[in-house]
């Protein structure tokens, strides 16, 4: 969904550029809460991974393809603020190096795929996680639906921007129907890729999935009791690291330390003391 | 008791974080460098709708169309498989470097309290300027 130069007129492109700049500035501020020494390199990886998967166009209908937008994936893996930055970095690289997505349309593209994609996906994800039972499978299911919805949402946003500043005289109703139609199909692919990727990371290191933090708490505790023999040194007391751990994620850190990934809590308390 | 039990395995946790990172980078390189060759070449959803409904009437040539990496092909590399694969690998590397650089500057410093975050917000707005 990379808008090239010339689709959107100059005033609306400039306005979208201002929206994108504001969103990037706010995200640089907000991402501080999501990023630390451990997660910053992983966020860089998420950006690179989104870039790679965006190259993989999959067929959705006769003569039409789609590819991952990645806003949902990035937001769920590393947090919504960092997610906006991931997508912005990818779009900047694509526009500057690969001539994909116009340079004057960079603001439009960041607004559509970064801001709208991430915001809609993360709002849907949070809402579903609250409604669904607290389990790993719920995170994966919520990932699918959040990613699925975010793609037609970005298509609606494109039509809105086109209504404001489109350079050609077209039937907006028809464009809206066609855009939402094809992007609903692409959304299925987006949902599948996002759920598979989030599910894979959750299977190995659930503590590295931003969207699963806190949620896995009770589950992890019971899993720890069940799986304790399989993991040496895996029965850390969640309360202990919490007393010295970094603020905000202490509970999660302690819990994840209890099962599967022993030592996370101890490590973070070491860092705090250093 | 729990902290003594966790202490030696703390290395394991950071070790598997590194392993996750390495596997992720390898996956991205394989996808962009190899699997991308088999991606659909059909126009994407927006391109298709634009062509069918006349949105692209006034589409302009890309300002960076002469980039040596334009359209995910490395110029002067004849084999489309090699050319596209190389472009993908370069793109993964460039995105990884740019992303990690930004996130490393923005991150919450382990040693920093309120002072650290005040420091960092200066860095943050600087990045914003670069990104534009």
Delineate the domains of chain A, giving CATH numbers in brackets. 10-211 (1.10.1760.20), 216-273 (no CATH)
Burial class of residue B13, CB neighbours in 10 A (0-12, 13-18, 19+): buried
Share of chain A above pLDDT 70, in %: 78
A25 vs A222, which has greater pLDDT? A25
Lowest mean pLDDT among A47-51, A95-99, A178-182, A259-263: A259-263
SS (H, E, C) A150-195: HHHHHHHHHHHHHHHHECCCCCHHHHHHHHHHHHHHHHHHHHHHHH
Contact A108, A161 (CB under 8 A): yes
pLDDT at residue A256, as a whole number: 39
**ipTM value greater than 0.95:** no
How confident is the model at residue A138, as a pLDDT? 94
A264 touches chain B (CB under 8 A): yes
Mean predicted confidence (pLDDT) in B4-29: 74
- Residue A226 has a pLDDT of 46
Answer yes or no: do B100 and A41 touch at CB < 8 A.
Answer: yes
Q: pLDDT tens across B27-67, in order?
A: 999 999 999 999 999 999 999 999 999 998 888 899 888 89
Instruction: Tell me if B28 and A89 make a contact (CB, 8 A cut-off).
Output: no
How many contacts (CB atoms, under 8 Å) link A and B? 321
Report the residue count for chain B. Answer: 132
Q: Are A38 and B82 in contact (CB under 8 A)?
A: no
CA angle A183, A184, A185 (to 5 degrees): 85
Do A220 and A257 touch, CB atoms closer than 8 A? no
Give the Cα separation of A261 and B17 in Å (integer): 10
Q: Do B107 and A37 touch (CB under 8 A)?
A: yes
Of all residues in chain B, the one with the smallest CA distance to A235 is B2
User: What's the pLDDT score for residue A88?
Assistant: 98
- Give the residue on A whose Cα is nearest the Cα of B64: A99
């Amino acid at each position: 969904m990379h808008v090239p130069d010339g689709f959107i007129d100059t005033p609306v492109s400039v306005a979208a550029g201002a929206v994108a700049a504001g969103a990037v500035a706010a995200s640089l501020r907000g991402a501080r809460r999501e990023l630390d020494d451990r997660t910053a390199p992983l966020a860089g990886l998420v950006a690179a991974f989104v870039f790679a998967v965006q190259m993989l166009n999959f067929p959705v209908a006769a003569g039409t393809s789609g590819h991952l937008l990645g806003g949902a994936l990035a937001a769920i893996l590393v947090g919504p603020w960092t997610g906006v930055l991931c997508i912005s970095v990818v779009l900047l690289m694509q526009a500057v190096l690969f001539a994909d997505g116009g340079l004057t349309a960079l603001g439009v593209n960041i607004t559509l795929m970064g801001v709208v994609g991430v915001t809609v996906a993360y709002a849907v994800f949070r809402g579903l996680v609250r409604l669904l039972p607290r389990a790993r499978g719920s995170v994966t299911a919520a990932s699918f639906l959040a990613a699925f919805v975010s793609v037609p949402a970005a298509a609606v946003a494109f039509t809105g921007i086109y209504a404001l500043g489109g350079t050609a005289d077209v039937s907006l109703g028809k464009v809206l129907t066609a855009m939402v139609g094809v992007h609903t199909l692409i959304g299925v692919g987006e949902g599948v890729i996002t759920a598979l990727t989030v599910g894979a990371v959750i299977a190995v290191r659930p503590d590295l999935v931003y969207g699963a933090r806190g949620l896995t708490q009770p589950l992890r505790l019971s899993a720890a009791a069940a799986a304790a023999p399989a993991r040496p040194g895996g029965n850390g007391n969640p309360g202990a690291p919490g007393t010295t751990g970094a603020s905000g994620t202490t509970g999660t850190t302690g819990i994840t330390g209890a099962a599967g990934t022993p030592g996370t809590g101890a490590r973070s308390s070491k860092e705090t003391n250093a | 008791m729990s902290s003594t039990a966790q202490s030696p395995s703390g290395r394991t946790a950071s070790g598997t974080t590194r392993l996750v990172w390495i596997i992720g980078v390898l996956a991205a390189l394989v996808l962009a460098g190899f699997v991308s060759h088999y991606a659909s070449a059909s126009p994407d959803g927006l391109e298709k709708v634009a062509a069918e409904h006349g949105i692209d009437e006034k589409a302009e040539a890309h300002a960076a169309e002469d980039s040596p990496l334009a359209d995910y092909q490395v110029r002067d590399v004849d084999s489309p498989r090699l050319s596209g694969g190389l472009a993908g690998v370069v793109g993964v590397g460039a995105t990884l470097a740019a992303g990690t650089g930004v996130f490393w500057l923005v991150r919450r410093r382990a040693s920093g309290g309120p002072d650290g975050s005040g420091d960092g917000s200066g860095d943050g707005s600087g990045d914003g300027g670069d990104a534009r």
